């Protein structure tokens, strides 16, 4: 009787009101999604403390996966409601709420939900996860969400730190293996160094311009660039003109600090080791979500806030981008371990993204976002295939030679894998070609003919190593594996989804196009 | 209804093999009979539609016909834009004509993964049709590249020897290197014109320096496909390592993609550059004709002889194309078609030998005329067509072609015609070694003449060979209006 009343009350009294007032609530409290995520995570932490068991427990991991997926989905819904709000500055201009940031948050949440579900089976195999894993994971997502919507350099730094510190712990989760320890230490030391560089850059910029707020900085760069950039020193008979090193180095250091996070050469050293040593569920996360966030912020900084001092950072972007394309490609040719290979190939792709940004037109930023979507979805599909293969074979497939002739035993997966790899290599008619086409178009639009010609020939080398894997899959002799289980699990379902997206992207990219246009426009709407 | 027919027939034509392969995906691996039925019927249906197109094609209408335009992405100006003129009609018909024969030839000689083989063949057919008909420059590039993936897999998976992997890599990267530069050229064109529409590009003028650069990019891509002299290494390798139908399609259609590209894009879009680079083209063509003919004489592998012969013939065709007058253009197009017929017939014949005796080395054969008379008489016809005997279609083609070249440059004609003599040498030598002499019973003990099915695979090819030799007007009447355009 009592239960019925409760249900009655809940369904007829509270629920419609909440739904009706949700938009009102969000209007008054626009960071409700983040707050909800934080509160839910803390509650989950308390619940986990109660349920705590030291060793790995199948039931607890399953339960926590479900709960965290539900939490993330609710956050997704809340952000979705926020999608309509455009160009709103919050809390004394430290956060911004516009279409671009909301959509990027949605994308990050989607990817993190996918990662969580996909890597469920990998957790069972590595047996290293306990309930802290999920708490840390949710905290990282929380940090990413704040990072995306921040428009103050300090907020940005703090959000980045929340994200990084949790990731340090997550990366070194493979306590048993030597690679895991190496990955954890490397990631921690280099990540901390990058944070230091970032904060140093921020402080120098603060010293030069007197503010950390990006909108203030925008105005300062817009109106006072000559005064700021050159100090005129009255030295008796001469007037010496000196570059304002504080400003220039500040801007460069901020970018370098961010480059660390998206593995740009020469700040890429941690990537292969971390990819190899960290648990695969975390690797999937590290290779997608922080990159989406940081790329979006880089687009925003370079394309809008620091646009008026483009001559300070453009050459850095070009050099770093070119270096990471070249070195990533050359290093990837010799790899035979799958995770290291993916690390180097992602370095190459991030180099492409930097070059997109350095091309520095409205259209090229838009293309950059398009490319990012294509890349993230393709790489997710690649990881998905890897996970399903490992599931089916019941062991981890570290080297490419374990994949020899999987076409003969796992036909469907092999074809998906081939399509994914060809798409990463940028061969038509897959979505990767679309991305590459946009890349060269944006370079040509800003008159970088020589770079474009160089890269277009250089991309042959990157196609070579993708084709080499296809050769291993299709042409090599069969390796007899005992296929342990062939159940269709969550990961396969997601895999099919992603696979469809890869195929259909070419035909649906009009949606992506208009989305990316809106995202880039939303930079400009705020003022 | 008629409007619908005219507007969507080309897309439909391109999609039928794709739909067929999509149906085959859902058929079980073991159900070979059903797979064969679906594949043969879909490719035959394509042939019927192509014949209808042939009938309905108006050869006195200068513009593109049966134009299909579907907007994929309006903001990026990405469209599927298909159209047919005299040239592409011939190539589409050649494609639709060869594929049923290939499927018929592979009726029961693909031992493993039959289903996948057929799926790849049908995919390739649809991509080839779309390549030959597309009028959108970017889409042309997309389909041009996509054709590479099925042929790469066909050579790599079903090739008979271990060396197949090297061959497939050579094929892939030689052609990719060229075509990736073509992508760059296409982007540069788009930067100036703002569109990929082929009919719009006709109206544009490119500056002379730009023309030279763009022409060179296109040239690298197409000359790797033909293949011309420095980029020809992949072709003999790929032919030798490919399964029979793979090399039939390679020689019959894929090589024509290069010459089609010259005809469709390089010459009309960059007229200044094509005249400017004429000496280069002539030189490379002559070198490759004579070099590959001489190389063909000293081969020990049957397929390699035919492969080098097709390099020589394709370069003769390019010689004709760049003579830039009506006789040269029409002759070279006719020669392309007849080379497509003759070389694919020869590869079928070699494939028949290989299916029986599992070797292609010339030294194991001899005196076959005594045990395989029907085979040898068909081979006789094809070999003599290959060295362009009067009465076969090759003769008409080369006659027209060289009379065209002679109007332009007599020295080039002399050197090029030297290739005809050499083609006689290697063809007759090959025929002599195969058919006459003693029967080598120590190597091969059991001989079977060609079967009913194989005979009927070869019969349409022979019929066309003779028909075009006697009455070439069937093809040439479709070309008169188009080739007027290329005349300078």
Q: Which residue did the predictor score with more confidence, A166 or A242?
A: A166
What's the half-sphere exposure (Cβ side, CA atoms, 13 Å) at A446?
A: 18
Q: Is the CB of A437 inside 8 Å of chain B's CB atoms? A: yes
Q: Which residue did the predictor score with more confidence, A387 or A296?
A: A296
| Among B232, B222, B225, B212, CA closest to B287 | B232
Query: Does A427 sit within 8 Å of B180, measured CB to CB?
Result: no
Nearest to B145 among A427, A506, A507 (CB): A427
Q: Are A37 and A61 found together in one domain? A: yes
Cα dihedral value A402, A408, A411, A416, nearest 10: 40
Of chain B, the end-to-end C-alpha distance in Å amounts to 41
Query: Does A441 sit within 8 Å of B184, measured CB to CB?
Result: no
Q: Is pLDDT at B151 greater than 90 in this prediction?
A: yes
Q: What are phi and psi of A478, to 5 degrees?
A: -70, 140
| pLDDT tens for each residue of B412-429 | 999 988 888 999 999 999
Within 8 A of B152 by CB-CB distance, chain A residues are 467
Question: Best mutation site among B70, B113, B180 for testing chain A: the one with the most A CBs within 10 Å?
Answer: B180
* In chain B, where the domains are located: 1-133, 136-276, 289-488
Are residues A362 and A335 in contact, defined by beta-carbon separation less than 8 angstroms?
no
pLDDT above 90 coverage of chain A, percent: 19
Are residues A382 and A413 in contact, defined by beta-carbon separation less than 8 angstroms?
no
Query: What integer pLDDT is reported at residue A480 of this predicted model?
Result: 59
Query: What integer pLDDT is reported at residue B41 of this predicted model?
Result: 93
pLDDT tier for residue B20 given thresholds of 50, 70 and 90: very high
Please say which residue of A109, A129, A149 terminates a domain.
A149
Q: Give, for B25, the enclosing helix (H) or strand (E).
A: helix B2-25
Question: Best mutation site among A432, A467, A505 for testing chain B: the one with the most B CBs within 10 Å?
Answer: A467
Q: Are A42 and A71 found together in one domain? A: yes
Residue of B nearest to A475 (CA): B157
Q: Are A6 and A110 found together in one domain? A: no
From the CA of A42, how many Å to the nearest CA of chain B? 46
- Structure token pair of residue B195: 């569109």
| Among B189, B214, B216, B184, CA closest to B203 | B189
Could you give the CA distance from residue A167 to residue A173 in angstroms, rounded to a whole number? 10
Strand pairing category for B78-84 and A95-97: unpaired
Has residue A141 been placed in a domain? yes
Q: Are A395 and A463 found together in one domain? A: yes
Could you give the CA distance from residue B158 to residue B90 in angstroms, rounded to a whole number? 30
Are residues B42 and B19 in contact, defined by beta-carbon separation less than 8 angstroms?
yes
**What is the DSSP secondary structure assignment for residue B263, as one 8-state letter?**
I
- Counting every residue written for chain B, the total comes to 488
Could you give the CA distance from residue A413 to residue A426 in angstroms, rounded to a whole number? 20
Query: Does A440 sit within 8 Å of B191, measured CB to CB?
Result: no
Are residues B415 and B316 in contact, defined by beta-carbon separation less than 8 angstroms?
no
| pLDDT tens for each residue of A121-159 | 777 777 666 778 888 999 999 999 999 989 889 999 999
Residue of B nearest to A422 (CA): B149
Query: What integer pLDDT is reported at residue B218 of this predicted model?
Result: 93
Cα dihedral value B103, B105, B108, B112, nearest 10: -70
pLDDT tier for residue A55 given thresholds of 50, 70 and 90: low
- Structure token pair of residue A332: 């990837």
ipTM value for the complex:
0.89
pLDDT above 90 coverage of chain B, percent: 56
Of A7-11, A360-364, B224-228, least confident by mean pLDDT is A7-11
Nearest to B149 among A422, A459, A464 (CB): A422
Q: Give, for B139, the enclosing helix (H) or strand (E).
A: helix B137-146
Please say which residue of A149, A176, A196 terminates a domain.
A149
Nearest to A440 among B73, B169, B184 (CB): B184
Query: What integer pLDDT is reported at residue B58 of this predicted model?
Result: 85
Q: Is pLDDT at A1 greater than 50 in this prediction?
A: no
pLDDT tier for residue A237 given thresholds of 50, 70 and 90: low
Query: Does B191 sit within 8 Å of A444, measured CB to CB?
Result: yes
| pLDDT tens for each residue of B168-187 | 999 999 999 888 999 999 99
CB atoms within 10 A of CB A481: 18
Q: Is pLDDT at A90 greater than 50 in this prediction?
A: yes
Could you give the CA distance from residue A56 to residue A176 in angstroms, rounded to a whole number? 13
Query: What integer pLDDT is reported at residue A423 of this predicted model?
Result: 86
Within 8 A of A445 by CB-CB distance, chain B residues are 191
Q: Give, for A234, the enclosing helix (H) or strand (E).
A: strand A230-235
Are residues B383 and B303 in contact, defined by beta-carbon separation less than 8 angstroms?
no
Of A157-161, A204-208, B14-18, B348-352, least confident by mean pLDDT is A204-208
Are residues A260 and A199 in contact, defined by beta-carbon separation less than 8 angstroms?
no
| Among B263, B247, B134, CA closest to B196 | B134
Has residue A462 been placed in a domain? yes
Residue of B nearest to A405 (CA): B157
Q: Which domain, by its residues, includes A20? A: 1-27
Query: What integer pLDDT is reported at residue B62 of this predicted model?
Result: 78
Q: What are phi and psi of B324, to 5 degrees?
A: 55, 40
Within 8 A of B209 by CB-CB distance, chain A residues are none
pLDDT tier for residue A490 given thresholds of 50, 70 and 90: low
pLDDT tier for residue B113 given thresholds of 50, 70 and 90: confident
| Among B66, B192, B62, B60, CA closest to B137 | B192
Q: Are A12 and A140 found together in one domain? A: no
Query: What integer pLDDT is reported at residue A408 of this predicted model?
Result: 81
Q: Are A420 and A522 found together in one domain? A: yes
Q: Which residue did the predictor score with more confidence, A527 or A409?
A: A409
Please say which residue of A149, A165, A188 terminates a domain.
A149
| pLDDT tens for each residue of B291-330 | 999 999 999 899 999 999 999 999 999 999 998 888 899 9
Q: Is the CB of A456 inside 8 Å of chain B's CB atoms? A: yes
Has residue A498 been placed in a domain? yes
Query: What integer pLDDT is reported at residue A118 of this predicted model?
Result: 80
Query: What integer pLDDT is reported at residue A492 of this predicted model?
Result: 60
Has residue A419 been placed in a domain? yes
Q: Is pLDDT at B439 greater than 60 in this prediction?
A: yes
pLDDT above 70 coverage of chain B, percent: 99
3-class secondary structure per residue, A390-408: HHHHCCCCCEHHHHCCHHH
Residue of B nearest to A512 (CA): B73
Could you give the CA distance from residue B257 to residue A353 in angstroms, rounded to a whole number? 34
- Counting every residue written for chain A, the total comes to 527
Residue of B nearest to A460 (CA): B177
Within 8 A of B191 by CB-CB distance, chain A residues are 441, 444-445
Within 8 A of A440 by CB-CB distance, chain B residues are 183-184, 187
Q: Are A445 and A426 found together in one domain? A: yes
Q: Are A6 and A123 found together in one domain? A: no
Q: Cis bond leading into B226, ω under 30°?
A: no
Q: Are A2 and A120 found together in one domain? A: no
Has residue A111 been placed in a domain? yes
Integer angstrom CA distances of residue A445 from A302, A449, A523, B27, B56: 18, 9, 21, 48, 43
pLDDT tier for residue B102 given thresholds of 50, 70 and 90: very high
Q: How many domains does the structure of chain A reveal?
A: 3
Query: Does B184 sit within 8 Å of A456, measured CB to CB?
Result: yes
Within 8 A of A428 by CB-CB distance, chain B residues are 141-143, 145-146
Q: Are A136 and A7 found together in one domain? A: no
Has residue A188 been placed in a domain? no
3-class secondary structure per residue, A61-112: HHHHHHHHHHHHHHHHHHHHHHCCCCCEEECCCCEEECHHHHHHHHHHHHHH
Mean pLDDT of chain B: 90
Estimate the share of chain B in helix, then strand, then coil, as percent rounded to the nearest 5. 75, 5, 20
């Amino acid at each position: 009787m009592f239960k019925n009343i409760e249900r009655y009350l809940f369904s007829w009294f509270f629920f419609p009101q909440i739904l009706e007032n949700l938009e009102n609530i969000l209007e008054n409290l626009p960071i409700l999604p983040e707050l909800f995520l934080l509160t839910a995570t803390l509650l989950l932490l308390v619940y986990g403390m109660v349920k705590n068991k030291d060793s790995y427990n199948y039931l607890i991991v399953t339960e926590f996966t479900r709960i965290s997926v539900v939490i993330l989905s609710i956050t997704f819904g809340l952000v979705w409601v926020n999608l309509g709000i455009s160009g709103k500055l919050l809390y004394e201009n430290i956060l911004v709420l516009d279409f671009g940031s909301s959509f990027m948050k949605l994308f990050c949440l989607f990817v993190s939900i996918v990662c969580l579900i996909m890597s469920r089976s990998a957790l069972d195999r590595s047996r290293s996860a306990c309930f802290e894993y999920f708490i840390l994971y949710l905290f990282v997502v929380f940090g990413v969400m704040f990072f995306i919507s921040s428009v103050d350099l300090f907020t940005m730094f703090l959000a980045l730190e929340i994200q990084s510190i949790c990731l340090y712990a997550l990366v070194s989760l493979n306590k048993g293996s030597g690679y895991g320890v190496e990955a954890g230490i490397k990631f921690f030391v280099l990540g901390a160094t990058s944070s230091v560089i970032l904060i140093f850059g921020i402080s120098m910029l603060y010293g030069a311009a007197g503010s950390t707020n990006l909108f203030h900085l925008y105005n300062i760069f817009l109106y006072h660039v000559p005064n700021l950039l050159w100090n005129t020193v009255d030295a008796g008979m001469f007037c010496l003109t000196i570059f304002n090193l504080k400003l220039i180095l500040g801007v460069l250091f901020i970018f370098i600090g961010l480059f660390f996070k998206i593995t740009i050469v020469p700040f890429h050293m941690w990537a292969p080791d971390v990819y190899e040593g960290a648990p695969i569920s975390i690797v999937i996360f590290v290779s997608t979500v922080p990159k989406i966030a940081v790329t979006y912020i880089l687009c925003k900084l370079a394309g809008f806030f620091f646009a008026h001092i483009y001559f300070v950072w453009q050459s850095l972007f070009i050099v770093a981008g070119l270096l990471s394309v070249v070195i990533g490609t050359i290093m990837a040719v010799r790899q035979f371990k799958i995770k290291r290979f993916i690390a180097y190939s992602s370095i190459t792709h991030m180099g492409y993204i930097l070059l997109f940004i350095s091309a520095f037109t409205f259209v090229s930023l838009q293309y950059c976002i398009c490319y990012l979507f294509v890349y993230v979805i393709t790489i997710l599909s690649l990881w998905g295939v890897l996970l399903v293969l490992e599931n089916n074979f019941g062991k981890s497939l570290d080297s490419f030679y374990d994949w020899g002739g999987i076409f003969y035993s796992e036909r469907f997966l092999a074809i998906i894998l081939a399509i994914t790899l060809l798409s990463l290599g940028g061969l038509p008619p897959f979505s990767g070609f679309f991305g590459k086409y946009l890349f060269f178009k944006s370079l040509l639009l800003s008159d970088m003919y020589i770079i474009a010609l160089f890269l277009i020939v250089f991309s042959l080398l990157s196609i070579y190593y993708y084709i080499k894997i296809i050769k291993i899959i299709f042409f090599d002799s069969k390796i007899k594996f005992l296929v342990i289980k062939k159940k269709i699990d969550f990961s396969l379902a997601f895999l099919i989804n992603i696979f469809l997206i890869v195929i259909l992207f070419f035909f649906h990219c009009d949606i992506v196009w208009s989305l990316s246009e809106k995202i880039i426009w939303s930079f400009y709407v705020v003022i | 209804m008629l409007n619908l027919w005219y507007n969507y027939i080309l897309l439909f034509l391109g999609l039928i093999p794709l739909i067929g392969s999509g149906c085959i995906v859902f058929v079980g691996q073991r159900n070979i009979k059903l797979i064969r039925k679906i594949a043969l019927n879909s490719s035959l249906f394509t042939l019927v539609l192509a014949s209808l197109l042939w009938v309905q094609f108006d050869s006195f209408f200068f513009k593109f016909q049966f134009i299909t335009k579907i907007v994929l992405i309006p903001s990026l100006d990405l469209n599927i834009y298909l159209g047919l003129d005299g040239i592409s009609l011939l190539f589409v018909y050649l494609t639709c004509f060869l594929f049923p024969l290939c499927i018929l030839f592979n009726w029961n000689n693909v031992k493993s993964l039959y289903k996948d083989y057929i799926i790849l063949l049908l995919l390739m057919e649809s991509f080839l049709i779309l390549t030959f008909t597309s009028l959108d420059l970017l889409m042309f590039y997309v389909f041009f590249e996509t054709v590479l993936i099925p042929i790469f897999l066909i050579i790599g998976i079903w090739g008979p020897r271990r060396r197949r992997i090297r061959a497939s890599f050579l094929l892939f990267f030689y052609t990719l290197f060229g075509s990736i530069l073509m992508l760059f050229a296409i982007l540069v064109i788009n930067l100036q014109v703002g569109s990929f529409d082929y009919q719009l590009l006709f109206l544009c003028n490119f500056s002379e320096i730009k023309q030279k650069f763009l022409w060179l990019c296109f040239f690298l891509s197409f000359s790797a496909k033909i293949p011309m002299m420095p980029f020809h290494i992949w072709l003999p390798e790929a032919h030798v390592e490919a399964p029979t139908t793979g090399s039939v399609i390679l020689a019959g259609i894929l090589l024509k993609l290069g010459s089609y590209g010259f005809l469709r894009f390089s010459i009309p879009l960059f007229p200044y550059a094509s005249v400017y680079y004429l000496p280069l083209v002539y030189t490379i063509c002559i070198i490759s004709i004579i070099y590959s003919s001489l190389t063909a004489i000293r081969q020990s592998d049957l397929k390699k002889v035919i492969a080098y012969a097709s390099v020589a013939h394709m370069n003769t065709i390019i010689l004709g194309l760049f003579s830039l007058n009506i006789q040269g253009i029409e002759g070279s197009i006719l020669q392309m078609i007849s080379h497509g017929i003759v070389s694919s017939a020869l590869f079928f014949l070699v494939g028949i030998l290989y299916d029986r005796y599992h070797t292609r080395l010339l030294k194991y054969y001899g005196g076959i005329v005594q045990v395989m008379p029907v085979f040898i008489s068909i081979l006789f016809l094809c070999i003599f067509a290959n060295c362009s005997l009067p009465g076969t279609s090759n003769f008409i083609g080369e006659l027209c072609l060289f009379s065209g070249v002679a109007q332009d440059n007599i020295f080039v004609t002399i050197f090029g015609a030297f290739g005809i003599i050499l083609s006689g040498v290697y063809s007759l030598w090959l025929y002599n070694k195969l058919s006459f002499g003693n029967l080598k019973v120590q190597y091969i003990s059991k001989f079977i003449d060609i079967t009913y099915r194989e005979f009927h695979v070869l019969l349409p090819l022979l019929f066309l060979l003779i028909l075009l030799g006697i009455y070439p007007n069937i093809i040439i009447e479709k070309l008169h209006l188009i080739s007027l355009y290329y005349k300078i």
